[in-house]
Amino acid sequence: MPRFLACVVLVTAALTRGEEQNSQVSINPIRKVVTLLQSMQKKVQEEGEAEAKLYEKFMCYCKTGGSDLEASISAAENKVGSLPSEITTAEEKLTQTKADLKQAQADRVDAKEAVAKATAIREKEAAAFAAEKAEYDSTIMAITKAVAALEKGVAGGFLQTTSAQVLRDFLHNEMDMGESDRQTLATFLSATQGTDYAPQSGQIIGILRQLGDTMAADLESATKTEEAAIKTFDELTAAKKKRN
């Protein structure tokens, strides 16, 4: 406002001097002064409004910028404060991961060793079962042939076959047979083409059939045991491989 008043005074003085010098040139000097003052007033108002807007923008920036800056500083301080604990947590996780990896490697080695050991045992068991089954099968077949020969009355011809030798070997190695039955079968198998065994043929057939039934039951039990062992081995190897 002081600036505006000073401008008014200067303009008025200038116009007055001009009017004194040449009163004929200016028809209405008062009107010119008023118009000039109005123009200056409008310009001053516009400048004032522009300055006011700039001031408001500056103040708004100061408020929002200050808040944002404070928030950023606070977040950074919090981050810095939590950084040691985050580093500690990361180090602990890394240590645990290394331990888990080491344990996994050890478990893998143990699993391989367990599978290798189980495989070796399984192979031995399978070989033993195969030999046992072959012996059972050949003995049962020999018993079946001996019973058939006795029933047909041609036991003499049977005694010359390899099946008869299988029964002789069986009697020699079998330890669970009663002594009376052993002697009866031994007498039959040691006979030649004669008829030394004929009076006892019925008894011999009974002994052989009972022996055959017993061996068939033992073979069935051994087969089930083998199948169970195979299943256990397969489950074990599958579990160990899955862990790897």
26 has a pLDDT exceeding 60 = no
Q: For residue range 40-85, what is the model confidence (pLDDT) as tens digits?
A: 777 777 777 777 777 777 666 666 655 666 677 766 666 666 677 8
91 has a pLDDT exceeding 90 = no
113 has a pLDDT exceeding 60 = yes
How sure is the predictor about 132, in pLDDT bands with cuts at 50, 70 and 90? very high
Q: For residue range 145-181, what is the model confidence (pLDDT) as tens digits?
A: 999 999 888 888 899 999 999 999 999 888 788 899 9
CA Rg, the chain, in Å? 60
The predicted model scores a pTM of: 0.56
Domain boundaries, the chain: 115-243
